[in-house]
Amino acid sequence: MKSCFVLGNGPSLASIDNSYLDKLPTFGSNRIFLKYTPKFYACVNPTEATKYPKEIEELRSVKYVTDAVDIPGCTPLHSTSLVRFSTNPLWAVNEGWSVSYVLLQLAYFYGFKRVYLLGMDHRYNYTGSPNEEVSWTGQDSNHFSKEYVLPGDRWNCPDLERSTYFFKVAKEVYEADRREIINLTEGSALDVFPFGKLEDVK
């Protein structure tokens, strides 16, 4: 079965050795390049894309970036709410309140039958309202690197309720096509998908 990793950027990813990630094709997003270079990369948040255009341009991945920002070497992604889950990201994607949801649409498009989630902790420490853009203060405890969001950086607060809804949509779409999504993230708060263990990857 054609399998891949979809990487979240949660703290748990720090404990995963990069050599383990080499076992399968990987999909990653935003500042994943601080740890690992994925085979496929996406960034749909203009705030994120405009902060690190040089790093994204130099990233040796198949890259998809929001069409609101022009970065050489990247395929533009158009966001839409006309479909809940897009099977053709070249037309458009539904952001689903999480870039990881976009990665699941890309993984589906590329024909992967089994997706293993890593770094999907699905919990955050922050001050603000869901989706609010804030200026970050203090040390970042929400990601695999303390350098991920630095003091003074603009950052969008997560919307866990809405993103959970769309993860359920992804589960329905995958299962309807006899595909599966398995969460390998230890201690994850995302219980939409069945949990698995690192040694189960095949």
For 117-137, the pLDDT digits (tens) are 999 999 888 777 877 887 888
Indicate the residue type of 2: K
- Rounded mean pLDDT of 2-6? 97
Please give the helix or strand (H or E) that residue 103 lies within, else none: helix 99-109
Residue given tokens 């085979």 in the structure block: 39
Mean pLDDT of the chain: 94
Alpha carbon distances (Å) from 66 to 9, 48, 75: 19, 10, 8
Residue with the bigger pLDDT between 91 and 1: it is: 91
Share of the chain above pLDDT 90, in %: 79
DSSP string, the chain: --EEEEE--SGGGGGS-HHHHTTS-EEEETTGGGT---SEEEE--HHHHHH-HHHHHH--SEEEEETTS--TT-EEE-B-SSSSS-S-TTT-B--TTSHHHHHHHHHHHTT-SEEEEES-------SS-TT-EEE--S---SSSSTTSS-TT-EEEPP-HHHHHHHHHHHHHHHHHTT-EEEE--TT-S--SS-B--GGG--
Q: What is the pTM of this model?
A: 0.95
- Rounded mean pLDDT of 13-23? 96
Close Cβ partners of 36 (under 8 Å, ≥ 6 residues apart) = 7, 18, 21, 26, 28
Indicate the residue type of 50: T
Distance of CA 122 to the CA centre of its chain: 11
Share of the chain above pLDDT 70, in %: 100
Residue 150 pLDDT more than 90?
no
* Residue boundaries of the structural domains of the chain: 3-120+161-200
CA atoms within 13 A on the CB side of 191: 2
Query: Cβ atoms within 10 A of the Cβ of 98, count?
Result: 24
Task: Tell me the CATH number of domain 3-120+161-200, given options 3.90.1480.10, 3.40.30.10, 3.20.20.140, 3.40.50.1370.
Answer: 3.90.1480.10
- Rounded mean pLDDT of 40-68? 96
Please give the angle made by the CA atoms of 52, 153 and 143, to the nearest 5 degrees: 80
Residue 191 pLDDT more than 80?
yes
Residue 1 pLDDT more than 70?
no
